[in-house]
Amino acid sequence: MHHLFDQFEKIDRDQRFLIECFAEMLEELGEGEIARKLPWLHQDLPEDLPPSERLAQAYSLGFQLLNMVEENTAAQHRRATEEVQGLEQVSGLWGQTLRQLKESGLTEEDIAEHMRQVRVEPVLTAHPTEAKRASVLEHYRSLYLLLLRRENQMWTPREQRRIRREIVFELERIWRTGEIYLRKPDVVTELLSVLHYLKKVFPNILDILDRRLLQAWVAEGFDPELLNGPEHLPRLSFGNWVGGDRDGHPGVTAEVTRQTMGKLRQHALDLLETQLKELGRRLSLSEHRQVPPQELVERVETIRSELGSLADPAIQRNIGEPWRQLVNLMRLRLPDPGEPLGTQHYRRSQQLMDDLQVLRNSLQAVGAQRLVEVDVHPVMRLVQTFGFHLAVLDVRQNSAFHDRAVEQLLQAAGFEKTDFGSWSEEERLAFLDHELELPRPFARLHQRIGLEADAVRSCYAVLTEHIREHGEEALGALIVSMTRSASDLITVYLLANECGLAQPGVGGPACPLPVVPLFETIDDLHRSPEILKVFLQHPMTQRSLEIQRQRRGDAIPVQQVMIGYSDSNKDGGIFSSQWTLYRAQEALVEVGRECGVRVRFFHGRGGTISRGAGPTHRFLRALPHSALSGDLRMTEQGETIAQKYANWGTAHYNLELLIAGVAGATLKHLHQAKEAHPLEPVLDQLAESSRKTYAELIGSEGFIEYFSEATPIDVIERSRIGSRPSRRSGRRSLEDLRAIPWVFSWSQARCYLSSWYGVGTALEGLQNQHPEDFQRLCDQHLKWHPLHYITSNVATSLANVDLEIMAEYAALMEDAEVRERFLGKITAEYHRARKMMELLYGGPLPEQRPQVHRVLDSRRDALRVLHRQQIGLLRKWRELSRAGESQESELLLTHLLGTVNAIASGLRTTG
């Protein structure tokens, strides 16, 4: 508790400092009335302040300052803990992970051997959950750096005052800019945001990550030579969905995908050019002070003869400095992203890595090991991580879209029966198998045959062209969302074959890119093992996995499987979703083992608890045995990208959590036999019970009307926070609504329905019917990681609920009978869930989890003001909309969106 108190004291102190700076800025701009309504300075403000756009903006900025202070305090606390108590004292990082592995009996050789097999790939997506504009995020980053500068004790009082004035200036810049999008961003705008992290953040923290691993390694008394060089370290790479994810997104065209790959390639090559230029500047070794090894001399001469006169400037620039000459030649051989590849250019990033290996060998041969570690290894690490592509681009499309594309191909080819989407699974598989054996296409190459077929064919043509020119390095997977059957996956082979993406192979065509199922709903997750087994046994899958295995150099074929947290939660509630995902992973791993394939899971986690978020180290520890195998893909969505990676200190902390967590869990699983936990059948029962309760609520007559009126869903669907539509096809149904606006609207109304509803009834039923099982649950819930991950997330969600505010949103519903029925059910279930969770935790939640509740307490007063303003505005906006007053309602909408943004800032979450 002492450390918690120290942190809270610092948070209070730093927050007050920033808010005072903010108030000073407002006063100077003539906004003194708003300054006097800041709740962090004035505790006795009424909660029913009249609506004001400027006040909502001020509260939003105030929340951002609080978030920033908490982030910085956490970082400073981690540093102090490691310095005073040791690296192993911070949960989830390398120090603790290596200590635990050592104590479990693993040797340094065991750990090092598996370390090089660890592969982590965060995938950045543009799901519409980032409400702030990119320019505003940049200003907040500058403000954070000023807060960091202020931590330094070296400044004189005069210098401290100067830092304070710079903070006031930056706050004014933010205040004058305005945070929210006034129109929906396009894909290009979203790509620019992703590129910021890929260019300016991740490359700069790779070396920090590696150094922290080596520090922890040496601290445990391990031999540093075992991790000497990038090939011995865990692999980090990045994925990207912006410009490739076209599921329900008409704005992602083939041309957008082409431009996206071009921009990623351009920035990757710019990054490498900058790094090689700096490397050449550093490696000023003279042949007069050390004799150049023969390997170096021969490599310089070989490249020189290949390039002819093109090499002369690179050689002449540094006569007598062959190490620099080789780096100059490497720069010359980098491709020009805007020009066709010449014979002198590297075609693959591995060729650059080979030359860097020659450079490394030549430095080691003259005893310059320190220069290798400081200068060459970081560049090799960049090439290993970013290649010539920066991040692999996934292409995602919905299975129903593919069905319509096939139907249009059948119509173009003159087939009599063309309703492919309604065929039985047996008919679909028989047809696909027959057609995959035939070389003829369904339609001419440039023939226009239908919206869906044309879109798929043009997309695959772009992918085929890129593979022909640059190889597969830049491409991730072909992901099929809403995978309902094996034929949904094999259909992609048919389309790839039709478009020339498939390659001829021994025994038939093969697909060079992984075809990946995305299992999203509860029902699909239950069926997923059977679907995967049929798919893995298909001849084209086996051929495709084999060519992919050979290209990557894997020991056995690898099948990627994506599992969705968002729709499974919207479908069944949190307990059912989390436990069904756990069971599905277990079964899918077993199917892969039976088929001689390693399953690589791609976790589609969102930014909120309802959509799979939760502490990274707890998430990784809660995964089933063998579900990692040292290899993890995971989406990073919306506002979580900024929260995790906007600032370098937070970025390397979150990536270290991820990499160390994957390594630790993998090694633990490899050296411990899988054992069924005795409580697994109990969780099966709880998952089903909670699902029934949740499904009964959302399936009740009148529930859609309640949801539509008792939450600001109609405003959120009009927001400009992402280029993607909030509904997959535009139909007004719960099934068609994306999980993001579903979760976003419940959080704005302070209900958080899908992240706790049903849990109370399930636990109460267990306690009444099987008290001995409930007691075992209480005994184990902090010890068994899968259970603790679920219960801690439920407890956090319950803490975020505000019953009073929730009831005021419900009052927006005009039908009193429907309103009272659903509000009564939800309120009763909340009390039930809270009571049962307190029995699990052994006391009141605020006492058992003080940090969570302290964070919420610091936001409560300001949030209540905003909620009440939003409710009043929402009521008026709906009245104007119904009356047809479109101009006036549109003006009010901008104000409403400001409250949405401000509340999201306070809750640190959108959807």
Task: Please give the positions annotated as active site.
Answer: 127, 570
CB 251 within 8 A of CB 184: no
Give the 3-state secondary structure of 302-320: HHHHHHHHHHHHHHHCCCC
DSSP strand pairing (392-398 vs 503-505)? unpaired
CB 395 within 8 A of CB 463: yes
CB 622 within 8 A of CB 788: yes
CB 180 within 8 A of CB 902: no
Q: What span, in angstroms and rounded, lies between the C-alpha atoms of 277 and 433?
A: 53
H-state helical runs in 29-133: 32-35, 53-85, 94-103, 108-115
First to last CA, the chain: 32
Residue in 250, 213, 595, 561 with CA at minimum distance from that of residue 401: 250
CA 472-478-482 angle, to 5 degrees, is 170
Q: In 784-825, where do the E strands start and end?
A: none
DSSP 372: I
Residue 842 exposure: Cα atoms within 13 Å on the Cβ side = 8
Distances (CA, A) of 705 to 378, 700, 741, 863: 57, 10, 16, 26
- Name beta bridge partners: 397: 480
- Amino acid letter, residue 31: E
Residue in 824, 805, 804 with CA at minimum distance from that of residue 816: 824
DSSP string, 868-909: HHHHHHHHHHHHHHHTT-HHHHHHHHHHHHHHHHHHHHHHT-
- Name beta bridge partners: 604: 564
DSSP 132: B
Tokens of 44: 């006795």
Find the radius of gyration of the CA atoms of the chain: 29
CB 490 within 8 A of CB 432: yes
- Name beta bridge partners: 395: 478
**Residue 346, phi then psi, degrees to nearest 5:** -65, 135
